[in-house]
Amino acid sequence: MVEWFSDALEPLEKKTEVRTYRVALSCPECGEGEMVFTGMTWPTVNPGYHHKCTKCEYICAIRGRQYPQTRTEPK
């Protein structure tokens, strides 16, 4: 039997202040633009996400990752 919790969870929550980063990927072709996820996905086991350069319009698929992405790290 699984126990359900819905409210009054505050005493169990642990808050940690973090630093937030926006991580962008430089274009491997021109080196100046930024690769941005187009919304197109190759639905393989480890999906390929289509990205397009903001400058030269180079297109590539990136396995398992989307850019730009947001990352948090402990302060």
Chain contacts with Zn ion (rule: CB under 5 A):
27, 29-30, 33, 53, 55-56, 58
Least separation in angstroms between CB 68 and Zn ion: 15
Nearer to Zn ion (CB atom), residue 31 or residue 44: 31
Number of Cβ atoms within 10 Å of the Cβ of 25: 19
Query: Residue 66 and residue 75: Cα distance in Å, rounded?
Result: 24
Least separation in angstroms between CB 51 and Zn ion: 10
Nearer to Zn ion (CB atom), residue 18 or residue 31: 31
User: How big, in percent rounded to 5, are the helix, strand and coil portions of the chain?
Assistant: 5, 45, 50
Least separation in angstroms between CB 34 and Zn ion: 8
Nearer to Zn ion (CB atom), residue 28 or residue 64: 28
User: End-to-end alpha-carbon separation of the chain, Å?
Assistant: 39
